[in-house]
Structure formats: structure tokens, C-alpha cells
Amino acid sequence: SYDLTQPPSVSVSPGQTATITCSGDRLENKNVCWYQQRPGRAPILVMYQDSQRPSGIPERFSGSSSGTTVTLTISGVQAEDEADYYCQSVDSSGTYRAFGGGTKLTVL
Amino acid sequence: EVQLVESGGDLVQPGGSLRLSCATSGFTFSRFSMGWVRQAEGKGLQWVANIKEDGSEKLYSDTVKGRFTISRDNAKNSVFLEMHSLGAEDTSMYYCARYNYDDYVAFDIWGQGTRVTVS
């Protein structure tokens, strides 16, 4: 297996910036993507290859990478951004698709 | 419109078996890897299995290896998950997802899920 670590929760007020981190062994050599999951809904892809945004995802979503930590940043958080966020990568063998434990973003 | 629709989820007794199906539409199915991801109530996402475009390679998480089998029918644009020796720990919502290796190296399209309860 392959372990990715995320903080369980992040809280911000509307309009502020939310940062969600994902750390894992040798993550600097891997592609990391992020999924947003609103309550009762299926996940949607919001970031891929650390910092690339799929079409249709608002520009306030951005990603970055530094060493073994990858970060999802949401600037100017809106109420609709309240959701669980999961990072995901692949282990060194290319076999195991690992998800982080998820971070619950609360918009105060 | 790209669509993934799962079916086959049910209440099953411990030790039982179940077969999940995922019907797809709106894209060239045979060009994409596919996967299954599950989520227990109130818990996080857990990868279950992936299958390559032509079915030549199948990958499984350690927790299901030997009990679950992923397969696909490119003529019917469908992917399946055969599950055996089910236990309470397999109780989850099961999502079918398209694994887009060329563009994203990620699961870019997800179905709405089908629920499996082992009790």
C-alpha cells in the first residue's frame, strides 16, 4: 500500500484562502491529483499533475508542490466550496492508487 | 454527455457474492482504463481495482486481491466487479470511474455509485 496524509479538517471564512496539504513518501517524484466531494455526491476531479486545473474548475483552485508535500489552495473561498477533498497518487510500482484520508473543508 | 451508471449493489450475507456493473456512454470506452473506488459510510475513498483499456492488465488493492475480479466488455461499453467472500468490511458505496491516463493520470469521470451492504 501507499500512505498519503492529509489534515482531517480545515476551516476558513468566506473570501479567505484555504490550504489543504497532502504528504507522502517520495511524493516529489509523483503526480498528485485532487478530488472534491460534496455531501451525498460523487467525487469530481479539481486538480491533476499537482497544479493543473481541468476545464470547468474555477480559477480560485490552484495547486503546488514542494518536496514531499503537495498543496491544494482555494483562494476567495465560497460557501459552495464546502466539501471533502482527497488527494490521490500512485505508488512507486505504478500499481496501487492511493487516496489520502480526506480533508473536510468548512466554510464558517 | 459522458455518463457512468453503476448497478448491482444489494444487501448480501457475509460470505456471499455479488456482481457490480457499470454501463458507460458518451466516450470511446475502449480507449480508457477503468476503475472501481469504494467509500464506507462516513469514511474516505478507497481504491479497489483498475483494468487497462484492452483488459490485459488488472490491478487490485491488497484488501480485495483474490476475492474481487474486475473485467470489461468493450463491445458493451461496460466494466464489472465480481465480488466473493464478502465481509462486513466490504460494506460501501462502490463508484465506477474512468481513469484518464493520457490527459490527467487521474479518475476524471465518476458514476453516482451503487451501494453494497454485507449483513
Percentage of chain A beyond pLDDT 90 is 83
Distance CA(A87)–CA(A34), nearest Å, equals 4
Q: Is A69 helix (H, G, I), strand (E, B) or coil?
A: strand
Banded pLDDT at A30 (limits 50, 70, 90): confident
CB contacts of A54 in chain B (<8 Å) are: 104, 108
Is the CB of B104 inside 8 Å of chain A's CB atoms? yes
Residue listed under C-alpha cell 479518475: B107
- Of the residues B48, B64, B107, the best mutation for testing chain A's interface (the one with the most A CB atoms within 10 Å of its CB) is B107
Cell of B118: 454485507
Percentage of chain B beyond pLDDT 70 is 100
CB contacts of B37 in chain A (<8 Å) are: 43, 99
Question: What would the pLDDT profile of B87-119 be if each residue is shown by its tens digit?
Answer: 999 999 999 999 998 888 899 999 999 999 999
Is the CB of A98 inside 8 Å of chain B's CB atoms? yes
Taking an 8 Å cut-off on Cβ atoms, the answer to whether A45 and B50 are in contact is no
Banded pLDDT at A45 (limits 50, 70, 90): very high
Taking an 8 Å cut-off on Cβ atoms, the answer to whether B47 and A31 are in contact is no
- Of the residues B22, B43, B101, B104, the best mutation for testing chain A's interface (the one with the most A CB atoms within 10 Å of its CB) is B104
Taking an 8 Å cut-off on Cβ atoms, the answer to whether A96 and B105 are in contact is no
For residue A2, the model assigns a pLDDT of 83
Taking an 8 Å cut-off on Cβ atoms, the answer to whether B59 and A95 are in contact is yes
CB contacts of A44 in chain B (<8 Å) are: 110
The answer for residues whose C-beta is within 8 angstroms of residue B71's C-beta and 6 or more apart is B51, B55, B58, B79, B80, B82
Closest Cβ opposite residue B47 in set A33, A98, A101? A98
- The bridge status of strand B33-39 relative to strand B106-110 is unpaired
Distance CA(B22)–CA(B79), nearest Å, equals 5
Q: Residue A29 class from Cβ within 10 Å (0-12 exposed, 13-18 middle, 19+ buried)?
A: exposed
Q: Cβ atoms within 10 A of the Cβ of A92, count?
A: 11
